[in-house]
Amino acid sequence: MREFDFLAPKSLNAALRAIGEKGLNYTLLAGGSNAIPDMRAGKTASGLLVDIGGIRSLKYIKEEAGTVRIGALATLAELLDSPIIRSRAPVLWEAARRFAGPLVRNRATVGGNLAEASPAADTAVPLLALKARVKLERLQASRTVGLDKFFTGYRKNALKPGEILTEVSFPIPPPETKQGYCKMGRRRAMAVSVVSVAALVRMDGKSCTDLSLALGAVAPTPLRALKAEAALRSRVASKGALRSCARAAAAEAQPIDDLRASAAYRRRICQVLVNRTLCQALGLEDESPAPAKEEIG
């Protein structure tokens, strides 16, 4: 491990001051579930390590004027324990339930998961479907960016030097909104997503009036599947229409081969999981075939 100067500020202002003076030569540490392994592997440049984990003002989950606000330091375990998340955003609650295992969930923060900007970041997918926004703060200034604009490329985000992601928020979906989430990994727990899907659907009788659909691990960034959304919006949500929407999502995906799955397998599973997620949200039986394990590779 390389040598670092270490700071553990107790206030956001102190942290912003410290990194504001450092230009690019600093690393933030929140829960440390990714940052510490990166440091051990020598991937982090030496300089200043700023542990923001003790800033209590960034640890909250609250509901305010029709909006859910989550402080960047809220952990995955806290999402799972939150009655607000469970009742207002079951799609996010389910993603938290499927995230890693209890040890990692106790450390991993929502802010860290988003800042990593991994295509497989499991909170990003439901939060994109919820049309979330992130607050990025620097000394004496702050800006809010739609989460769909925050991810700018593979493991790249819109944070500028001197900024900290302090909050993610989303409008509370109308109560009649149906929500679904599916994740496929190579095993049930402690597994990075091979594909993940989140959907929010609104219906008027048998017609879909609105759909928000997000995909994980099938492109350089987590993404909203806008063409697939348009394929179902204002249509009768028949099983055939759900299958067409799933086909459109698979066509929109830009998967790659990696150690977890081939691009072709990811595209196929994307189609299966979108159909499954929509069926789950709408309370319909999913008749698509189960993904075959031996096809992973």
Ligand X SMILES: Cc1cc2nc3c(=O)[nH]c(=O)nc-3n(C[C@H](O)[C@H](O)[C@H](O)COP(=O)(O)OP(=O)(O)OC[C@H]3O[C@@H](n4cnc5c(N)ncnc54)[C@H](O)[C@@H]3O)c2cc1C
Name the minimum Å distance from CB 238 to ligand X: 33
Task: Point out the residue whose Cβ comes nearest to ligand X.
Answer: 112
Name the minimum Å distance from CB 166 to ligand X: 7
Of 113 and 169, CB closest to ligand X: 113
Of 48 and 84, CB closest to ligand X: 48
CA distance linking residue 81 with residue 160, whole number of Å = 32
113 close to 149: Cβ distance less than 8 angstroms: no
Q: One-letter amino acid identity for 14?
A: A
Name the minimum Å distance from CB 34 to ligand X: 4
Name the minimum Å distance from CB 96 to ligand X: 10
Phi, psi (degrees; rounded to nearest 5) at 115: -65, -30
Of 111 and 180, CB closest to ligand X: 111
Structure token digits, residue 36: 């510490």
Which residues, in sequence order, are bridge partners of residue 184?
195
Residues forming contacts to ligand X in the complex (CB under 6 A) are 27-35, 72, 99-100, 104, 107-109, 111-113, 115-116, 120-122, 159, 164-165, 190, 192
216 close to 126: Cβ distance less than 8 angstroms: no
Name the minimum Å distance from CB 89 to ligand X: 16
Of 28 and 194, CB closest to ligand X: 28
91 close to 183: Cβ distance less than 8 angstroms: no
Of 117 and 281, CB closest to ligand X: 117
Q: Half-sphere exposure of 278 toward its Cβ, with a 13 Å CA cutoff?
A: 33
Q: How many C-beta atoms surround the C-beta of residue 24 within 10 A? A: 9
